Chain A
Amino acid sequence: MLCLSPLAALFVNLLDDNLGADPAKIIVKELGFWAITLLWLTLAVTPVRKLLGWRWLMSFRRMLGLYTFFYAVLHLLAFATFLIGWRWDILLTELTKRPYIVVGALALLLLIPLTLTSTKAMQRRLGKHWKKLHSLIYPISLLVMLHFVWQIRSDFGQQFIFAIILAILLGYRLYLKGRSS
Chain B
Amino acid sequence: MSKRLIRDALNIPSSEITSESVYKQRRRLMQAALSAAVLPAFAFPSFARAAGYEIPDDLPRYPGPVWLRQKLASAVRNAELSVSDELAPYYHAITHNNFYEFGTDKRDPVRYAQKFKTDPWKVEISGEVAKPGNYNLEDILAPHALEDRVYRLRCVEAWSMVIPWLGFPLAELIKRFEPTSKAKYVQFTTILDKEQMSEQRSSFGTIDWPYVEGLRMDEAMNPLTLMAVGMYGNALPPQNGAPLRLVVPWKYGFKSIKSIVRIHFSETMPETSWNITAPKEYGFYANVNPAVDHPRWSQATERRLPSSLLSPNIVDTLPFNGYADQVAHLYKGMDLSKWF
Contact = CB atoms under 8 A, between A and B. Distances in A.
Interface of A: 15-18, 20-25, 27, 81-85, 87, 90, 93-94, 97-100, 150-157, 160
Interface in B306-321: 306-307, 309-312, 314
A100 B291 CA distance: 20
A111 B171 CA distance: 57
Nearest to B157: A25
A157 B309 contact: no
A166 B91 CA distance: 40
Contact of A20 (B22, B106, B297, B307): B106
Given A153-B104, A156-B204, A160-B204, A21 B298 contact: no
Contact of B29 (A18, A22, A153): A18
B35 to A, nearest CB: 16
Contacts of B100: 154-155
Contact of A97 (B26, B199, B293): B293
Interface residues of chain B: helix, strand, loop or mixed (majority): loop
A17 B314 contact: no
Nearest to B273: A154
A27 B277 CA distance: 27
Q: Identify the interface centre among A21, A87, A160: most chain B CB within 10 Å of its CB.
A: A21
Given A21-B306, A22-B96, A156-B204, A16 B29 contact: yes
A22 B106 contact: yes
A98 B95 contact: no
B296 A21 contact: no
Contacts of B277: 154
Nearest 8 CB-CB pairings of A with B: A21-B96, A157-B204, A21-B92, A85-B312, A20-B107, A17-B26, A154-B207, A156-B204
A152 B206 contact: yes
B322 to A, nearest CB: 20
Contacts of A20: 95-96, 106-107
Contacts of A82: 309-310, 312
B202 interface: yes
A90 B95 CA distance: 28
Contacts of A84: 312, 314
Given A15-B22, A21-B91, A157-B203, 18 more contacts: A16-B29, A17-B26, A22-B106, A22-B159, A24-B312, A25-B159, A27-B309, A82-B309, A83-B312, A85-B314, A87-B314, A90-B300, A90-B314, A98-B295, A99-B295, A154-B100, A155-B104, A155-B202
Contact of B298 (A25, A94, A160): A94
Contacts of A21: 91-92, 95-96, 106, 305-306
Interface of B: 22, 25-26, 29, 91-92, 95-96, 100, 104, 106-107, 159, 199, 202-207, 277, 293, 295-298, 300-301, 303, 305-307, 309-312, 314
Given A85-B312, A154-B100, A90 B295 contact: no
Nearest to A78: B309
A85 B301 CA distance: 12
Contact of B310 (A18, A81, A97, A160): A81
B55 to A, nearest CB: 15
26 contacts: A18-B29, A21-B92, A21-B106, A21-B306, A22-B159, A24-B309, A82-B310, A82-B312, A84-B312, A84-B314, A85-B311, A87-B314, A90-B298, A90-B300, A94-B298, A97-B298, A98-B295, A98-B296, A98-B298, A100-B296, A154-B206, A155-B199, A155-B204, A156-B204, A156-B206, A157-B203
Contacts of B107: 20
A97 B293 CA distance: 10
A70 B91 CA distance: 34
A85 B100 CA distance: 28
B172 to A, nearest CB: 32
A90 B301 contact: yes
